[in-house]
Amino acid sequence: MPKIDEKLLPVFEDVLRRNAGEVEFHQAVEEVLESLGCVIAKHPDYMSRALIERLCEPERQIIFRVPWIDDKGRFRINRGFRVQFNSALGPYKGGLRFHPSVNVGIIKFLGFEQTFKNALTGLPIGGGKGGSDFNPRGRSDAEIMRFCQSFMTELYRHLGEYTDVPAGDIGCGAREIGYLFGQYKRLTNRYEAGVLTGKGLTYGGSRARTEATGYGATYFVDSMLRTKGTSFDGRRAVVSGSGNVAIYAIEKIHEFGGKVIACSDSSGFVVDDNGIDLDLLKETKLVRRERISAYAEAKGAGAVYSEKGSIWDVPCDVAIPSATQNELTGKDAKSLVDNGVIAVAEGANMPSTPDAIRLFHEAGILFGPAKAANAGGVATSALEMQQNASRDSWTFDETEARLAAIMRRIHDRCAETADEYGAPGNYALGANITGFVRVAEAMQALGVI
C-alpha cells in the first residue's frame, strides 16, 4: 500500500512540526503526499522548486473574534477563521463551516483539500475555507443574523470577487449566506454579487447550486458504474447525513432509478426499506429543522430509527458518506465490503479514514474520493460567479447540464491519470495527481510565490 516516498518525508515532517496537533490537516496532507512519489520521479523540478512545500503552507490565515449578543441579552464570543490556502488558479474559493468542532486545523485541512478539488474542476478558482466554532443548533433567526453580521464585520475586508469568495458548508446554508451578503453590501456600499456564492435566487444566486454537490456526487457514481457496464437502476444505496449534500444526493439517486434506504444525522440513523420519503425528509430537516428521529416518528411503519450501531452496517450496493470527516472507519468499510457494496463516493470532505480507503482499494470496489466526487458544489459556485460577472441568469436545466458535463470530465480525468501512472481504477491517486499538477504548473509559471 502507498507510503510517502522517502524524498517527500522531510516535507511531511515539516508539516507535522509547523502544524502541531492539527491531526485532520496532517491526515489530508499525508493522503496527498502518498500519491506524489511517482509524480516527482517524472518531474524532479517540482522538488527543486519546493512546489510541494509551498502547497502545504497556506498563503494567509486569518483568525478573529466574533462578538454578538444572544436573545437574552448575554454577550457571546466565538472565534472566526479564514484560511486563504492557494490563489495560483484564481480567487480563493471555499465554504464557511459553522460548527462547535471548528478549529484552525479543521479549516486548514478543508482549505488544503479545496485547493486540489477546485483545480480538478478545470475552472479558475483557488482554494480557501473558513468558519467559526459557533453552534447554530437551537439559535433563533435573530441570533443567527446577529452572529453572521458580526462575523462579516471582520471578514469583509479580506473578501472580494477577485480576492476571496466564500460559500456555505456545514451549518451555513442559504439563510446564513443571505445575512452575510446583506452585511457585506452594507459595509462596502457595493452590490458585489460575485463575492459570495450559494446566494438566494432573488439576489444573484444560481439555479442548481443548492442541489449541485449531492447531484454531482451521484453523477460521479453513475460514471464509475458505467465503467463496469452497470447503473443505479434497482440498486440500494445508503447516504449518511441529512443536510444539503445528503438530501440532493438522495433526490438524484431516486431519479436515476436507485433506492436510498438509510440516512442519518449526528444523533442517529433511520432505515426505511421502502425508500426514504424525500418530501418528508426535506420537511423534517429543511423546514422544521428537527432531528432525524422525527422523520421515523412521522413515517411510522417501515422506518426504524436507531442511535446504536452504525449506518454502514446496513447492506447496500452504493454508499455515499455525506455528513462529516472520519465518519466511516476501517471497521465500517469492512462491513460495507462484506455486505457486497460495489461503489463508495465521498459526498462529505474526508469522510473515510485512511484504513477505510485502504480497504476499499484492496477489495477492488469503485471508490470516488471527495476531491472529485463532491466537486459539483464548488464547480456550480464557479458557474454562479460566471453568471454574476455577465449579469446573466441561466435556467435550471442549462446549469445542471453544465454540472453534469463537469462531473463526467472530472471522472474521466481522474481515470486517465490513474491509467497513466500505472494504477487503473484508482480514482484517489488520479484526483490527487491531476489536481496537484494543475496547481503546481500554475505556481511554477507565476514565479516564487
Positions touching ligand AKG (CB under 6 A) are: 93-95, 114, 117, 167, 169, 197, 349, 374, 377-378, 381
Q: Which parts are annotated binding residues for NAD(+)?
A: 213, 244
- The site partner of 93 among ligand AKG, ligand NAI, none (C-beta below 5 to 8 Å per kind) is ligand AKG
Q: Which of 91, 204, 377, 430 binds ligand NAI (CB under 6 A)?
A: 377
Query: In the range 297-356, which residues lie near ligand NAI by CB under 6 A?
Result: 322-324, 327, 347-349
- The site partner of 347 among ligand NAI, ligand AKG, none (C-beta below 5 to 8 Å per kind) is ligand NAI
Convert 30-83 into a string of H (helix), E (strand) and C (coil): HHHHHHHHHHHHHCHHHHHCCHHHHHCCCCEEEEEEEEEECCCCCEEEEEEEEE
* Beta strand extents in 315-399 (DSSP E only): 318-320, 343-345, 366-368
Contact 109, 428 (CB under 8 A): no
User: How many CB atoms are closer than 10 A to CB 54?
Assistant: 16
Please count the residues of this chain forming the interface with ligand NAI, following the rule CB under 6 A. Answer: 23
Residue 368 engages ligand NAI in binding (rule: CB under 6 A) = no
Q: Which of 227, 266, 274, 395 binds ligand NAI (CB under 6 A)?
A: 266
Q: Please report how close the Cβ of residue 364 comes to ligand AKG at its closest, in angstroms.
A: 28
- The site partner of 265 among ligand NAI, ligand AKG, none (C-beta below 5 to 8 Å per kind) is ligand NAI
- Which residue is catalytic, options 3, 42, 108, 129? 129
Q: Please report how close the Cβ of residue 309 comes to ligand NAI at its closest, in angstroms.
A: 13
Q: Which parts are annotated binding residues?
A: 93, 114, 117, 168, 213, 244, 381
Q: Please report how close the Cβ of residue 444 comes to ligand NAI at its closest, in angstroms.
A: 28
Encode 254-288: b = buried (16+ Cβ within 10 Å), e = exposed.
bebebbbbbbbbeebbbbbeebbbeebbbebbeee
Residue 245 engages ligand NAI in binding (rule: CB under 6 A) = yes
Cell of 314: 446496513
In the bound state with ligand NAI, the residue whose beta carbon lies nearer, of 78 and 244, is: 244
Query: In the range 129-188, which residues lie near ligand NAI by CB under 6 A?
Result: 168-171
Residue 251 engages ligand NAI in binding (rule: CB under 6 A) = no
Work out the widest C-alpha separation in the chain, in whole angstroms. Answer: 64
Cell of 355: 484504513
The radius of gyration of the chain from alpha carbons, rounded to an integer in Å, stands at 21
Residue 289 engages ligand NAI in binding (rule: CB under 6 A) = no
N-terminal to C-terminal alpha carbon distance within the chain:
34
Contact 48, 13 (CB under 8 A): no
129 noted as active-site residue: yes
User: How many CB atoms are closer than 10 A to CB 354?
Assistant: 16
Catalytic residues: 129
| Footprint on this chain of ligand NAI (rule: CB under 6 A) | 168-171, 213, 241-246, 264-266, 322-324, 327, 347-349, 374, 377
